[in-house]
Structure 1
Amino acid sequence: MLYTAKKTASLIIDGGNDYIIGLKQNQPTLYKMAQTQAQKETPLSCATTFENVHSRLVQRECKVFAAPEQIQKKWSGLKSFVVVERQGERDGQPFYERQFYICSQCLAAQELLADIQGHWGIENRLHWVRDVTFSEDFPPRRGGNAPVNWSILHNFFITIARQLGFRTIPQAQRALSNQLHKVFSFFV
């Protein structure tokens, strides 16, 4: 069953939980309102962090805005809009990114920034690996149970790689490609 973002937000709130949902341009009205809000309104809260890790210098700025009442009525539990701007250098090249979020809570910017960074950690450590390293968005094996079976094997391999302390999945693939006895030792 395909759920819309509004239905998903409603299910989350009905389940007694809260949400932070990243906005994309496929929600044009909400996305435009967030852009306008960020330009014209005064934020309820702001926070800035600086990080210098893996030869990347990154500044993150988070601003929290109250959601307008007309939008709150359309989205279950909606309380605030969040804008996160990232800028800095990656491998000597400057970058700038801006992401909008809707949130069912009105939290301080520092707390929201930490929550959003935590989510990106999950995204980078799992979903990115599945999409890029294992090409799950464009599987060569289609039909029947093949995609699900390969996904299970990928999850198994990711778990083994993490358990063995590899920093990256490609590093684990190279190291374990001729070490099947190590891989099979997880079965016993």
Structure 2
Amino acid sequence: MQTLETYFSEIEDKRRSEGKRYAQAKLLTAIVIAIMGGAKSFRDIDRFLSNNIDDLKQYLAWERDATPSHEKIRTFIGSLDFEQVNHAFCLWVNERIRLQEGDWVALDGKAMRSTLQDVHTPFQNFASMVSAFTHERNLVIDQQSYAQNKEQHEHGIVMQIIERLENKGLILTLDALHCQKSLVKIDELEQFYVVAVKGNTSRLFAEFKQLAVGEALSVFNSQIKRKNKQIESQVRVYPCRDWVSQNWASSKRMIVVHNKYLQNNGTYHHEYRFYLSNICHDNAEYFAKGIMQHWQIENKLHWVKDVQLNEDKSFIRNKNTAACYSVLMSWALNIARFNGFNKWKDWLARFANRIDRIVKMI
């Protein structure tokens, strides 16, 4: 397999010749190592590199006796082309993982809070990152940044990512924002979908409410523990009703998730969630597992970036800088998970400030 430095060398270096004090590929590798060593900001990266310069020379063939300041690191990352950085990331991922037909992939967007502008005006704007995230291995396989405004929206970006997926027959889990008539395009791309249905599609939502328990093709019962509550969950699979088949082309199954739990006042709280799919499958347990694991993208990616990597507390205002840095964080997370560390804190317990150990993993 090729090294990180090899992939980074494919990214165009847009710096002036006078400003190329550090080789771009080597500096990007050092930044990823710093993130994997526990750095959470540009200042942390600055301190990490300067404190470990001897290890950089020994294990990374660092050529200079100095390291860049946090201002230089910020400027350097801001000069990168996001599309090229993400392309290099996707090439790196594709060399290490081959998705198979039937693999589940979650797609969801996450706002980058630090880029928010004009917060108190009608022209509020910020950057978001949409990621494609595998259910089983918890890996980012693609991502796309966009500015949250009237010209760009999450659904369009998700469709762009789906079009870029080389593997066919993947099962894509999507939230209710993507429950649109354009779902037929996913079917045309030879992919499968399981999409949440809410009140934004009122007639379709009403069709789900008319489903009777006895009409289900399959039922799966289970118990889930969530926030110290024991939840009784029932998943039911139905064939599409006539109106749904006629108006939502490509749809094959309607899925109802019924959760109930005992409240403090002694009464049961009932929660219903509805999903639409183009998978002609009658096993409710099959859908139950995929629907539950969709939330891994929130718990294993968005939460880790926001809380453990401090993306939510970042002061990066520039949208391109924030997007490129977010890709580097995804890279660090993927490396940890490729090496069997599903939890970031477990990775840090072994590799924090240990360049000698990290370089063996990349």
The answer for the alignment partner of 1:33 in structure 2 is 207
* 1:99 counterpart = 2:262: no
Structure 2 stretches lacking a partner, 5+ long: 1-151, 157-177, 263-267
CA contact (8 A) 2:179 2:197 kept: no
Instruction: Give the RMSD, CA atoms, in angstroms.
Output: 3.7
Question: Aligned residue for 1:183?
Answer: 358
Query: Secondary structure of the equivalent of 1:142?
Result: coil
Q: Which of residues 158, 173, 184 in structure 2 aligns to 1:10? A: 184
Map 1:111-150; keep pairs closer than 5 Å. Answer: 111-130=286-305, 132-134=307-309, 140-150=315-325
Mapped to 1, the partners of 2:309 and 2:245 lie a distance apart of: 39
Which residue in the other structure is 2:240 paired with? 67
Matched AA of 1:125? K
SS at 1:46's partner residue?
Answer: strand
| Distance (Å, rounded) in 1 between the aligned partners of 2:295 and 2:287 | 12
Greater RCO, 1 or 2 (C-alpha within 8 Å, sep 6+): 2
**Distance in structure 1 (CA, Å) of the matches to 2:312 and 2:203:** 28
| AA of the residue aligned to 1:100 | F
Superposition deviation, residue 104 in structure 1: 1.3
Number of residue-to-residue matches in the alignment: 182
- 2:186 partner amino acid: I
> Which residues of structure 1 form unaligned runs of 5+?
none
Structure with larger Rg = 2
Q: Report the counterpart of residue 22 of structure 1 in structure 2.
A: 196
Which of 313, 337, 343 is the matching residue for 1:168? 343
Bigger Cα displacement from structure 2, 104-113 vs 119-128: 119-128
Distance 1:156 1:136 in 2: 14
CA distance in 2, matches of 1:128, 1:96: 27
The yes-or-no answer on 1:154 pairing with 2:329 is yes
Distance 1:140 1:67, change over 3 A: farther
1:49 corresponds to 2:235: no
Residues 96-134 of structure 1, C-alpha deviations (whole Å, 9 max, x = no match): 643210111342222222332343445533344345544
> 98-107 or 51-60, which moves further after superposition?
51-60
Change in 2 beyond 3 A, CA 1:166/1:23: same
Aligned mates of 1:10, 1:169 — CA distance in 2: 38
Instruction: Name the stretch that deviates more: 144-153 or 164-173.
Output: 164-173
AA in 2 matched with 1:86: N
Tell me if structure 2 keeps the 8 A contact 1:6–1:76.
Answer: no
Corresponding residue for residue 76 of structure 1:
249
Quote how far apart the aligned CAs of 1:47 are.
Answer: 1.4
